[in-house]
Amino acid sequence: MIKPPWIRSVRRALLAAGATAALATGLLTATATTSQAATQQPCDIYAAGGTPCVAAHSTTRALYAAYNGPLYQVRRASDNATLNIGVLTAGGFANAPAQDSFCANTSCVITDIYDQSGKGNDLTQAPAGGAAGGPDNLANAFAAPVTAGGHEAYGVYVAPGTGYRNDTTNGIATGDQPEGMYAIFDGTHFNNGCCFDYGNAETSNTDTGNGHMEAIYFGTENHWGTGSGTGPWIMADLENGLFSGVNQHLNSGDPTVNNRFLTAIVKGGPNQWAIRGGDARSGGLSTFYSGVRPNVSGYNPMHKEGAIILGIGGDNSKGSAGTFYEGVMTSGYPSDATEDAVQANITAVGYGSNTGPLHAVGAGKCLDVPNGSTTPGVQTDIWTCNGGANQGWTHTSGNQLTVTENNGTTLCLDASGKGTTAGTKVITWTCNGQTNQQWNLNANGTVTNVLSGLCLDVASGSTADGALVELWTCNGGSNQQWSQQTS
C-alpha cells in the first residue's frame, strides 16, 4: 500500500499493536501505542499449558512477561568491542537504539542469541560440520530491520554461509521424547538451499542418520519432500529428509506460504507429529499435517540428539537463506489450544516492516542500486520498480537510508565526497553515521541531505531506466518528489 508521501520511522514507533498503522501525510514523529509488557508472553502461555519452554530466542522482544535480561550480543568492527542488547522494560521490546548508538560509524554482527528460559541454551557461531567447513558467518546486525509493538528492532538475517548452534544443551528433547517449537520468519526471504532450520539437531555437527533431527524448515528445497504449489513451505527437517507429511515426498495439504511475517510450528512425540502455520500479523493457525511419523525406516522411534541450530542443517549444510525474529522449544507436546493462544500473543505484537521502495514520483520508477552492486561508490539511479533488494530502502532512527543486498551487505545512501554543491553524485557507501549520509524525509515529498540541504533529484528530470540520481537545489519539480511503499 502506498502511504504518501512518507512513512517516517523515528525510533520506528509507527505501528499500533496488531496492525500496520496508516499514517497521515506529513506525520514526522509518533508515539508507540503498544504497552511495553504483556501479562503473559509465549513462554508463560506454554508453561500454563504444561509444556514449558526449554529454549527461548528472540532479537526483538522478551518471551516471558518477567524477562529483563539480554536478548542478544553485537560486536562492532571498529574495535571488536561487544554489547548486550536487552529490553526497554521487563517483558518488553528490544533496546534497538542501544545497538544504533553502539554501532554508529562502523558495522556490527550478532555474536550471541541468548536463551531466555534460564537453561543456558544460548546460540553462538556454528562450528565446522560434516557438510561444510566453518566456523559459519555471523549475521549482519542491521540487515533485518523491523518494528515490533511500534518499536525499532532487528531480526537475524541469514545469508548463505551464516549459522548459529549449541551442541551442549540443557533440557532439550532427546530420543523419542516429545517437544514443540515455533519460529517467526520473514516469509518473503528464502531460497532452495539446504537448510534454513530452527530446532533440534545432532550434537556432532554431522549426519548421524534418519530421525536424529527435528527442526522447522522453511524454503523451497524440494529434493526430499514438498508441499503444494511452488513453495516456500514449512516442513520438518528430520535428517535425510524434509518432510511435509507421512510420505517421503508430496503432501498436498502443506501449502505454499509467504506471509511477510510467518508463524511456523513443528511438534513431535512418540509416533505423532504435526506442522502448523499462520500469518504472524493476523488470524489463527492452520494445521498442515497431524498424524503418525513418516513411513520411512528410522523415524519411528525418533533418535533426537538435543543440539539447537538456527539457519543451517544438522550437518552444517549452510546454503540456505532466511530471516528469524523469535522462536522457542518446549518440553512436551503442546496442545493446539496452547499454540493458538501463543499465536494470539504473536499477532498482538504488530510486527511490521519499515523497508520499501522509494518511488520517484515524476518518473514512476524506483530509487535503485545498479545491478544490486555491493561495491561502495556506485552512483544510484532510477529503474522500473521490481521489488528487488536493491530497491528496498530503510530510513533508520539515525536518519540514514540503508539498502541491504541479497548477500546481506548493507550500504548507506551517501552524498559523494561530502559534496554540498548542485550536481553532487548520490552513491551508496559503507555506513559511517556522518551527516552526508543523513536524509530528512519531508512532508512536501522532498528528500534533503542533512549536510547540504540539497534535494534528492533525478538528473534532468529524466524518466528513463538508468537515469542518474544526484543532489540539486530544491525547486519543487516532480523529479524531486518521492514516496515510499512499505509492507
**Could you give the residue numbers annotated as active site?**
239, 315
At residue 124, φ and ψ (nearest 5 deg) are -130, 180
Nearest to 320 by CA among 98, 432, 164, 161: 161
At residue 140, φ and ψ (nearest 5 deg) are -60, 125
What's CA 37's distance to the chain center, in Å?
22
Q: How far apart are CA 459 and CA 471, in angstroms?
A: 9
Q: Where are the beta strands (DSSP E) in 340-380?
A: 355-356, 358-360, 365-368
Contacts of 417 (CB under 8 A, 6+ apart): 424
Q: How far apart are CA 484 and CA 59, in angstroms?
A: 26
Contacts of 79 (CB under 8 A, 6+ apart): none
What is the arrangement of strands in the sheet containing 447-449, beginning at the earlier edge strand?
Answer: 439-441, 447-449, 455-458, 469-472
In the three-class reduction of DSSP (H, G, I as helix; E, B as strand; rest coil), residue 416 is classed as: helix
Q: How far apart are CA 220 and CA 227, in angstroms?
A: 9
Does residue 399 come out as left (phi exceeding 0), alpha (psi in the -120 to 50 range) or beta? left
DSSP 87-112: BSSTT-BB-HHHHHHHTTTS-EEEEE
Nearest to 163 by CA among 204, 117, 205: 205
At residue 289, φ and ψ (nearest 5 deg) are -160, 140
* The three cell numbers locating residue 247: 510420505
* The three cell numbers locating residue 385: 520498480
